[in-house]
Amino acid sequence: MKLVTAVIKPFRLDAVKEALEAVGARGMTVSEAQGFGRQKGHTEVYRGAEYQVAFTPKIRVEVLVEESAAAGVIDAIVKAARTDKIGDGKVWVTPVETVVRIRTGEAGPDAI
Amino acid sequence: MSLLMTTMVHAASCGTNAVPGSPTACSDLSWLSPGDTSWQLTAATFVALMSIPGLAALYGGLVPKKWAVNTMMMAFTGFSAVLVVWVLWAYKMGFGSPIGGGTANTYTYHYGGNFFANLFNNFVGHPETSLRGSSEITQATLPIGTSVPLRFSTTALFYFQFVFAAITPLLFLGSVLGRIKFKVWLLFVPLWSTFVYSVNAMLMWGGGYWAHEGALDYSGGYVIHLAAGTSGFVAAWMIGPRLARDRAKFVPHNLPIISIGAGIVWLGWNGFNGGDPYFASADAATAVVNTNLATVSALLVWVLWDMFAGKSRKPTFLGAINGMIVGLVAITPAAGYVDGSGALLIGAIASSIVWFAWTFIQPYTLKRVDDAMGVVYTHGLAGLCGGLLVGIFADPSVIIYASTGASKKALTPFAVTGWLYGNRHQFFLQLFAGLTIIVYDALATAVILFVLKLLFRGLRMSDEELEVGDLAIHEEEAYPADEGYTRVGELAGVGASPNGPPPAPSMSSTPDLTGGVR
Tens digits of residue pLDDT in B45-63? 999 999 999 999 999 999 9
Residue B425: which residues within 8 A CB-CB, separation 6 or more? Answer: none
For residues B509 and B431, membership in a common domain is answered with: no
CATH number, domain at B223?
1.10.3430.10
* pLDDT higher than threshold 90 for residue B482: no
Residue A4 CA to its chain's centroid (Å): 8
Smallest CA-to-CA distance from A78 within A4, A3, A1 is with A4
Q: How far is A101 from chain B (nearest CA, A)?
A: 33
Q: pLDDT tens digits for A49-96? A: 889 898 888 999 999 999 999 999 999 999 999 999 889 999 999 999
* pLDDT higher than threshold 90 for residue B462: yes
For residues B505 and B390, membership in a common domain is answered with: no
Average pLDDT, chain B: 86
Q: In this predicted structure, what is the pLDDT of residue B260? A: 98
Q: How far is B369 from chain A (nearest CA, A)?
A: 24
The reply to whether residue B483 touches residue A50, judged by beta carbons under 8 angstroms, is no
Using CB atoms, pick whichever of B249, B467, B475 lies closest to residue A45.
B475
Pick the residue from chain B with its C-alpha nearest to A47: B476
Q: Is residue B267 part of a domain?
A: yes
The reply to whether residue B484 touches residue A53, judged by beta carbons under 8 angstroms, is yes
Q: pLDDT tens digits for B393-443? A: 999 888 766 544 444 444 456 678 899 999 999 999 999 999 999 999 999
Question: Sheet of A42-46: strands edge to edge?
Answer: A42-46, A49-53, B485-488
Measured over the CA atoms of residue B28, residue B161, residue B425 and residue B335, the dihedral's sign is negative
Domain that holds residue B507: 492-518
Name the pairing type of β-strands A89-95 and A42-46: unpaired
The reply to whether residue A44 touches residue B483, judged by beta carbons under 8 angstroms, is no
The reply to whether residue A52 touches residue B483, judged by beta carbons under 8 angstroms, is no
* pLDDT higher than threshold 60 for residue B108: no
The reply to whether residue A43 touches residue B485, judged by beta carbons under 8 angstroms, is no
A75-84, B141-150, B507-516: least confidently modelled range: B507-516
Percent of the residues in chain B that have a pLDDT greater than 90, as a whole number: 66
Buried/exposed code over B116-135 (b: 16+ C-beta within 10 A; e: otherwise): eebbebbbbbebeebeeeeb
Interface probe for B, chosen from A52, A84, A88 (most Cβ of B below 10 Å), is: A52
Give the angle B84-B87-B88 at the CA atoms, nearest 5°.
80
Considering the four listed CATH numbers 3.30.56.10, 3.90.45.10, 3.30.70.120, 2.40.50.1020, the one that applies to the domain covering A2-111 is 3.30.70.120
Q: pLDDT tens digits for A83-111? A: 998 899 999 999 999 999 999 999 998 88
Q: In this predicted structure, what is the pLDDT of residue B283? A: 86
- Report DSSP letters for B323-337, one per residue: HHHHHHHHHTTTTTT
For residues B287 and B201, membership in a common domain is answered with: yes
Question: What domain count does chain B have?
Answer: 2
Q: In this predicted structure, what is the pLDDT of residue B197? A: 98
Selected residue with higher pLDDT from A93 and B26: A93
Q: How confident is the model at residue B122 (pLDDT cuts 50, 70, 90)?
A: confident
For residues B498 and B408, membership in a common domain is answered with: no
Q: How confident is the model at residue B111 (pLDDT cuts 50, 70, 90)?
A: low
Count H helices, E strands: chain B? 22, 1
Q: Is residue B78 part of a domain?
A: yes
Q: In this predicted structure, what is the pLDDT of residue B348? A: 98
Buried/exposed code over A82-108 (b: 16+ C-beta within 10 A; e: otherwise): eeeeeebbebebeeeeeeeeeeeeeee
Q: How far is B219 from chain A (nearest CA, A)?
A: 38
Residues of B with CB under 8 A from a CB of A: 245, 249, 467, 471, 475-477, 480-481, 483-489, 491
Pick the residue from chain A with its C-alpha nearest to B246: A11
Q: Does A102 touch chain B (CB under 8 A)?
A: no
For residue B200, give the amino acid letter: N
Q: Is residue B83 part of a domain?
A: yes
Q: In this predicted structure, what is the pLDDT of residue B413? A: 63
Within 8 A of A12 by CB-CB distance, chain B residues are none
The reply to whether residue B488 touches residue A34, judged by beta carbons under 8 angstroms, is no
Within 8 A of A43 by CB-CB distance, chain B residues are 475, 488
For residues B272 and B354, membership in a common domain is answered with: yes
Question: For the whole model, what pTM was predicted?
Answer: 0.85
In this complex, how many residue pairs, one in chain A and one in chain B, have their CB atoms less than 8 Å apart?
45
* pLDDT higher than threshold 60 for residue B496: no
Q: In this predicted structure, what is the pLDDT of residue B112? A: 58
Q: pLDDT tens digits for B330-349? A: 999 999 999 999 999 999 99
Q: Does A34 touch chain B (CB under 8 A)?
A: yes
* pLDDT higher than threshold 90 for residue B267: yes
Distance CA B105, CA B15 (A): 16
Exposed, middle or buried: residue B453 (CB in 10 Å: 0-12, 13-18, 19+)?
A: middle
The full 3-state SS of B443-503, as one line of letters, equals HHHHHHHHHHHHHHCCCECCHHHHHHCHHHHHCCCCCCCCCCEEEECCCCCCCCECCECCC
Q: pLDDT tens digits for B291-344? A: 999 999 999 999 999 999 999 999 999 999 999 999 999 999 999 999 999 999
Q: How far is A13 from chain B (nearest CA, A)?
A: 12
Q: Is residue B214 part of a domain?
A: yes
Name the pairing type of β-strands A2-8 and A89-95: antiparallel
Percent of the residues in chain B that have a pLDDT greater than 70, as a whole number: 82
Within 8 A of A15 by CB-CB distance, chain B residues are none
For residues B464 and B502, membership in a common domain is answered with: no
Residue B476 contacts residue A44 (beta carbons within 8 Å): yes
- 3-class DSSP state of A8: strand
Which element (helix H / strand E) includes A5? strand A2-8
Q: Is residue B455 part of a domain?
A: yes
Pick the residue from chain A with its C-alpha nearest to B248: A14
Q: In this predicted structure, what is the pLDDT of residue B407? A: 45
Using CB atoms, pick whichever of A11, A41, A46 lies closest to residue B476.
A46
Q: Does A54 touch chain B (CB under 8 A)?
A: yes
Q: In this predicted structure, what is the pLDDT of residue B484? A: 86
Give the angle B215-B216-B217 at the CA atoms, nearest 5°.
130
Q: Is residue B366 part of a domain?
A: yes
* pLDDT higher than threshold 60 for residue B18: no
Within 8 A of B487 by CB-CB distance, chain A residues are 49-52
* pLDDT higher than threshold 70 for residue B483: yes
Q: How far is A55 from chain B (nearest CA, A)?
A: 6
| Residue B426 DSSP code | H
Distance CA B265, CA B272 (A): 10
Q: Is residue B33 part of a domain?
A: no
Which element (helix H / strand E) includes B294? helix B282-309
A95-109, B105-119, B223-237, B295-309: least confidently modelled range: B105-119
Name the pairing type of β-strands B485-488 and A49-53: antiparallel
Selected residue with higher pLDDT from A28 and B510: A28
Count H helices, E strands: chain A? 2, 6
Q: Is residue B16 part of a domain?
A: no
Selected residue with higher pLDDT from B107 and B396: B396
For residues B447 and B342, membership in a common domain is answered with: yes
The reply to whether residue A34 touches residue B483, judged by beta carbons under 8 angstroms, is yes
Q: In this predicted structure, what is the pLDDT of residue B7? A: 35
